[in-house]
């Protein structure tokens, strides 16, 4: 029998034994003229990272709600006595428990037992479980013990029928942010507790290393029920992280209080100073009050940041950074310093500002980084206002003029509908050492590869790429490589070079490797890779182990030998398996090929199965791969940096012409900052969204919501069908050509 079926059956048996909860019971039903709901948000040591920031934002902007940040001292002093609901964010359950102390832990239990509501995510879920060796002094309010977890990914969870009956949460699967959360396992009954599982993990993840552990699939991911007279709703995942998942939070409050809570979202206003707020440390009450002020008064466009996002390059999209005083449960310097010190130095050199106070200021002094140390939060706010009022230098907004070297490397990049080519293409298009040409699939058979030095096949769909090229295009690509051309491939582009391993999925067969089909699709998560000695030498790397974003790519295994070819494994997967989107079992990845490189005929090849181009912290692998092939490393692209006062634009390409327009026009206009990001995510921090091609029906409501908040949508639609679809978006600016796009953006 499938092990996951057994686990689901066990959870189902536990739910049946737990009893049923009456959906009509709970805190008093709310109405428009009801007393404001009083919500306490725990911000003491242990409650940290972006999740805490988002909880403060959500509760501060909720209608008919009074949100109060509290710490352990406030809990011990009786602050919960006047509250209706306690929110316990993610972070560290061990630190949260220690901060509460014995008296505080008893106060929380008494609060819920006497009728209060409790909602917790990740660490806030852990806190209610039974104690263990690694998690001492938990509250023991639910009959669950710790199972092994770990990793970070968007994971699929399954809400059951009871989630709908109790909280109005729709039954079915949902992709939700997971970050080192627990895997709650059924344990001994708890006095006063009557709880049940309302969602289970529908997928798996184990990408942190070689240690084997039990599957997560089928285990509890969300739990709801009663404790004494009160109610609790906890999740092991982070639904607060994404607006699309906030219906889960609304369901939680519906279950806890009987009220239909609503909250609005801040929307960037053109010309606002874009402020990054560092969230690595726990906030403390005073810092939490500053967050509430910033997100409700909307004086600035505030973006939460942590050390991982700094490493991913997100300082490039902000004007100033606030590094707040913390409770010293985490080291403030890990966000802007240590491994990220180079990004901070570059940010300051281009005119950015970092204002630090308290413990963060002490860390800044140690690094002598040019950070402005201020007395407190009020002084930081005053400094931000002064910086916002400072005029922007006219030179900063003048169009960028690229100067190419005399004989640049001539590169061509495949354009596909997924636009997975954009990160690499932007790097090369703005590097003086390279000259970039965008290639439509039909260009290959028409001789477009003639005269090129390098061809780049990005991620997307390997079989789609093969079929789009056609047999003539495929043969042209093979001739190019074997005749002396250079080939860079990533994910689908790596698959493309391999040997066919499944009927109906054709490949080029250029190298003596194949993907480990049929289980190659494993979701999306960071994974560790370990460079081989050949890889260290070929790529000039000093760090043997790296963490790279994996997104459904191959795990290379040996295939049949290929004549006149010398391709070696340059890196192997060090993580075991990933399966974040589906319940089916997948094969192990550890020790299978992640980077491959070497000679193919007279040509040369480098392929990456994961995606080093997805984060700035791993883009050095991309540049090293280019240098391995051509002998020339591309320079950093200057227009990735935002100019203060620039219009923030998200741009969706649809074809070769749209990508060429992006490189030839938009990226060179420094009045415009083209943001990275997929789909419609991050629209709250965007001024304008430019789409090319057809607007999909599922996009219309979100685009109209963006417009209603003050955003602008510009659609370039050059066919009658595309124009007809674009006009269904009320308020959108519809253009028939690229003429007028810049004017529409700047209007």
Least-confidence region, from 239-243, 262-266, 398-402: 398-402
At 391 the three-state DSSP class reads: coil
Q: Which pLDDT does position 132 carry in this prediction?
A: 92
At 221 the three-state DSSP class reads: strand
518: left (phi over 0), alpha (psi -120 to 50) or beta: alpha
Mean pLDDT over 325-336 rounds to 79
Would the pLDDT of 418 be above 70? Answer: no
More confident residue, 712 or 521: 712
Question: Residue holding tokens 């420094």?
Answer: 670
Would the pLDDT of 4 be above 80? Answer: no
Non-local (6+) Cβ contacts of 722 within 8 A are 693, 694, 695, 715
By the 8 A CB rule, do 183 and 146 touch?
A: yes
CA distance 746 to 576: 48
More confident residue, 260 or 396: 260
Would the pLDDT of 398 be above 50? Answer: yes
By the 8 A CB rule, do 559 and 514 touch?
A: yes
Mean pLDDT over 33-39 rounds to 90
Give the burial string for 628-640 (b: 16+ CB within 10 Å, else e).
bbbebbbeebebb
Mean pLDDT over 268-288 rounds to 93
Would the pLDDT of 318 be above 70? Answer: yes
Structural domains of the chain ordered from first start: 3-257 (3.40.50.880), 274-390 (3.40.50.880), 409-639 (3.40.50.880), 641-746 (3.40.50.10490)
Which is it for strands 565-573 and 593-600: parallel, antiparallel or unpaired?
Answer: antiparallel
Least-confidence region, from 531-535, 677-681, 728-732: 677-681
Sign, CA torsion 574/575/578/584? positive
By the 8 A CB rule, do 36 and 62 touch?
A: no
Q: How confident is residue 743, by pLDDT bands cut at 50, 70 and 90?
A: very high
Q: Which pLDDT does position 3 carry in this prediction?
A: 31
Q: How confident is residue 484, by pLDDT bands cut at 50, 70 and 90?
A: very high
Q: Which pLDDT does position 420 carry in this prediction?
A: 75
More confident residue, 393 or 514: 514
Tens digits of residue pLDDT in 653-672:
888 899 889 988 998 898 99
By the 8 A CB rule, do 80 and 46 touch?
A: no
CA distance 546 to 621: 10
Q: Which pLDDT does position 638 carry in this prediction?
A: 60
Least-confidence region, from 21-25, 119-123, 312-316: 21-25
Give the burial string for 297-315 (b: 16+ CB within 10 Å, else e).
eebbbbbbbbbbbbbbbbb
DSSP 438-466: EE-GGGGGGTTTTT-SEEEE-SS-HHHHH
Closest among 413, 339, 345, 319 to 620, alpha carbons compared: 339
Tens digits of residue pLDDT in 435-451:
999 999 999 999 999 99
Q: Which pLDDT does position 214 carry in this prediction?
A: 78
Closest among 134, 168, 163, 165 to 221, alpha carbons compared: 163
Mean pLDDT over 484-510 rounds to 94
Q: Which pLDDT does position 8 carry in this prediction?
A: 35
Q: What token pair was written down for 248?
A: 């889960």
CA distance 697 to 37: 37
pTM of the model: 0.90
Mean pLDDT over 619-633 rounds to 96
Q: Which pLDDT does position 679 carry in this prediction?
A: 47
Mean pLDDT over 546-560 rounds to 93
Which is it for strands 513-515 and 524-531: parallel, antiparallel or unpaired?
Answer: unpaired
Q: How confident is residue 681, by pLDDT bands cut at 50, 70 and 90?
A: low
CA distance 159 to 202: 9
If you average pLDDT over every residue of the chain, what do you get?
A: 90
Least-confidence region, from 20-34, 349-363, 368-382, 559-573: 20-34
CA distance 465 to 119: 46
Would the pLDDT of 81 be above 70? Answer: yes
Torsion of CA 354, 58, 524, 474, to 10 degrees: -80
Closest among 446, 452, 278, 400 to 668, alpha carbons compared: 400
Which is it for strands 409-414 and 454-457: parallel, antiparallel or unpaired?
Answer: parallel
Angle between the N-to-C axes of helices 422-429 and 619-630, in degrees from 0 to 180, rounded to the nearest 10: 60
Helical segments of 337-461, H only: 341-349, 359-367, 377-389, 422-429
Question: Residue holding tokens 């019971």?
Answer: 25
Closest among 609, 479, 636 to 549, alpha carbons compared: 609
Q: Which pLDDT does position 419 carry in this prediction?
A: 67
Q: Which pLDDT does position 329 carry in this prediction?
A: 67
Q: Which pLDDT does position 169 carry in this prediction?
A: 98
Residue 211 CB-density burial (10 A; 0-12 exposed, 13-18 middle, 19+ buried): exposed
> What is the helix (H) or strand (E) element at residue 567, kind and residue range?
strand 565-573
What percent of the chain is predicted at pLDDT more than 70? 93
Would the pLDDT of 25 be above 70? Answer: no
């Amino acid at each position: 029998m499938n092990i996951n079926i057994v686990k689901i059956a066990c959870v189902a048996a536990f739910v049946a034994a737990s009893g049923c909860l009456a959906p009509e019971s709970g805190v008093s039903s709310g109405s428009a003229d009801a007393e404001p709901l009083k919500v306490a948000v725990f911000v003491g040591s242990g409650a940290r990272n972006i999740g805490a920031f988002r909880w403060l934002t959500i509760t501060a902007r909720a209608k008919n709600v009074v949100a109060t940040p509290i710490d352990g001292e406030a809990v011990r002093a009786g602050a919960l006595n006047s509250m209706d609901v306690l929110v316990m964010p993610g972070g560290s359950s061990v630190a949260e428990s220690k901060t509460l102390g014995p008296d505080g832990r008893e106060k929380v239990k008494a609060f819920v037992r006497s009728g209060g509501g409790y909602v917790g995510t990740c660490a806030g879920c852990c806190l209610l479980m039974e104690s263990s060796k690694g998690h001492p002094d938990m509250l023991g309010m639910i009959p669950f013990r710790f199972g092994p977890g770990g990793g970070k990914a968007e994971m699929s969870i399954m809400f059951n029928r009871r989630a709908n009956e109790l909280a109005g949460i729709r039954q079915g699967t949902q992709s939700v942010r997971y970050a080192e959360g627990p895997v709650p396992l059924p344990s001994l009954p708890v006095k006063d507790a009557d709880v049940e599982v309302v969602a289970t993990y529908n997928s798996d993840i184990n990408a942190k290393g070689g240690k084997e552990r039990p599957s997560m699939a089928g285990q509890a991911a969300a739990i709801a029920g009663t404790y004494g007279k009160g109610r609790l709703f906890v999740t092991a995942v982070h639904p607060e992280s994404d607006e699309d998942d906030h219906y889960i939070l609304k369901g939680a409050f519906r279950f806890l209080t009987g009220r239909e809570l609503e909250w609005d979202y801040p929307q960037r206003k053109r010309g606002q100073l874009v402020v990054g707020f560092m969230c690595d440390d726990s906030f403390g009450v005073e810092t939490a009050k500053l967050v509430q002020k910033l997100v409700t008064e909307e004086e600035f466009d505030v973006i939460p940041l942590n050390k991982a996002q700094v490493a991913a390059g997100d300082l490039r999209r902000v004007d100033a950074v606030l590094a707040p005083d913390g409770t010293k449960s985490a080291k403030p310097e890990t966000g802007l310093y240590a491994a990220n010190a180079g990004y901070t130095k570059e940010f300051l050199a281009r005119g950015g500002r970092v204002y630090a106070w308290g413990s963060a200021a002490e860390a800044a002094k140690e690094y002598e980084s040019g950070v402005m140390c201020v007395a407190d939060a009020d002084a930081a706010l005053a400094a931000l206002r002064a910086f916002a009022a400072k005029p922007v230098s006219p030179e900063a907004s003048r169009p960028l003029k690229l100067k190419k070297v005399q004989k640049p490397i001539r590169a061509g990049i495949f354009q596909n509908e997924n636009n997975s080519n954009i990160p690499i293409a932007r790097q090369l298009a703005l590097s003086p050492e390279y000259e970039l040409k965008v290639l439509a699939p039909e260009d290959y058979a028409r001789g477009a590869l003639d005269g090129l030095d390098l061809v780049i096949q990005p991620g997307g769909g390997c079989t789609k790429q093969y079929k789009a090229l056609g047999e003539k295009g495929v043969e042209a690509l093979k001739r190019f490589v074997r005749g002396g051309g250079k080939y860079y491939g990533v994910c689908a582009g790596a698959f493309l070079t391999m040997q066919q391993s499944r009927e109906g999925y054709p490949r080029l067969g250029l190298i003596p490797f194949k993907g480990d089909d049929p289980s190659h699709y494993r979701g999306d998560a960071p994974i560790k890779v370990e460079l081989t000695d050949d890889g260290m030498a070929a790529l000039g790397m000093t760090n043997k182990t790296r963490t790279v974003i994996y997104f459904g790519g191959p795990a290379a295994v040996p295939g049949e030998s290929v004549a006149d070819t010398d391709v070696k494994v340059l890196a192997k997967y060090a993580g075991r398996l990933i399966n974040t989107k589906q319940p089916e079992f997948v094969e192990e990845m550890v020790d299978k090929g992640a980077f491959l490189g070497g000679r193919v005929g007279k040509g040369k090849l480098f392929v990456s199965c994961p995606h080093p181009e997805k984060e700035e912290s791993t883009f050095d692998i991309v540049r090293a791969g280019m240098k391995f092939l051509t002998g020339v490393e591309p320079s950093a692209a200057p227009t990735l940096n935002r100019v203060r006062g620039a219009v923030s634009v998200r741009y969706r390409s649809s074809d070769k012409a749209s990508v060429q327009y992006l490189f030839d026009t938009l990226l060179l206009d420094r009045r415009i900052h083209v943001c990275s990001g997929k789909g419609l995510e991050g629209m709250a921090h965007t001024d304008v969204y430019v789409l090319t091609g057809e607007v999909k029906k599922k996009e219309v409501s979100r685009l109209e919501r963006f417009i209603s908040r003050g955003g602008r949508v510009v659609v370039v639609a050059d066919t009658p069908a595309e124009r007809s679809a674009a006009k269904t978006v009320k308020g959108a600016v519809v253009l028939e050509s690229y003429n007028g796009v810049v004017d529409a953006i700047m209007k």
